[in-house]
Amino acid sequence: MKSALRIGILGAALAVLFAGIGLAGDVAKKNYVPSGCDIKKNTICTMEIWLAHPHKKSNRSIRKELKGKSIKVLRHTIQYWKPRGGHPPTNIAIGRSLTAEDARWAIDFALRYNDRIEGLIFQRLNPPHYVAVATSAWDDKSETAITPEQLAQLRDPKLTTEEFHALYVKLTGEAGVAEAFY
């Protein structure tokens, strides 16, 4: 009888321990900040960009702009479409932990260097402090088309961070879909 009680107590203790680890993992997952990222300066830690080949001549100034915003600039952060490869994808991915101000900056950056935005990549597929401009990393089912009017709604400077992300999720149709991938 005593051994059954001990096993029961041990099992309950392990269940509490693993539940705590699971909850801690959920909290860590939602608030994950990559090392070397100072989100006090900017909530974008990593940004990947594909641009049309003619922008290659502006590579130095683009990198300087990103570094000026304290965005991690890796060797392959910016890639250029082949000279005769057509136009890069016209989408953007915005992580769920960006402030509305940083997200709008990323949209403006994409419009300046990629001409237009016609699609949003689902937030749940990307890390929280991440932006991708003109990404081809996801398939068509990971992206939803948006109109210029919908993009204008996202760019509204009156939106709070919570309102921005609620609108993004509404526009992508992600509401009620399973938790974030990362």
Reported as type and span, the H/E element at residue 50 is strand 46-51
Rounded (10°) CA dihedral 56, 147, 96, 72: 10
Residues 97 and 54 both lie in one domain: yes
Closest CA to 154 of 114, 98, 113: 98
Contact 175, 169 (CB under 8 A): yes
Residue 179 inside a domain? The answer is: no
Residues 24 and 49 both lie in one domain: no
Phi, psi values for residue 153, rounded to 5°: -60, -45
Residues 52 and 96 both lie in one domain: yes
Residues found in the chain: 182
Residue 182 inside a domain? The answer is: no
Residues 53 and 82 both lie in one domain: yes
Residue 181 inside a domain? The answer is: no
Residue 100 inside a domain? The answer is: yes
Residues 85 and 143 both lie in one domain: yes
Phi, psi values for residue 77, rounded to 5°: -60, -40
Residues 133 and 85 both lie in one domain: yes
Q: What is the pLDDT of residue 6?
A: 47
Q: What is the pLDDT of residue 84?
A: 81
Q: Which domain holds residue 93?
A: 38-172
Per-residue pLDDT of the chain (182 residues; tens, 9 = 90+): 555 444 444 444 444 444 444 433 443 445 567 666 777 778 999 899 999 989 999 999 999 999 888 888 777 889 998 878 788 999 999 999 999 999 999 999 999 999 999 999 999 999 999 999 999 888 889 999 999 999 999 999 999 999 999 999 999 998 876 665 55
Residues 10 and 57 both lie in one domain: no
Residues 58 and 26 both lie in one domain: no
Residues 149 and 86 both lie in one domain: yes
Residues 160 and 111 both lie in one domain: yes
Residues 59 and 78: their CA atoms lie apart, in Å, by 8
Contact 48, 135 (CB under 8 A): yes
Cα distance between the two ends of the chain = 45
Please state the domain count of the chain: 2
Q: What is the pLDDT of residue 85?
A: 76
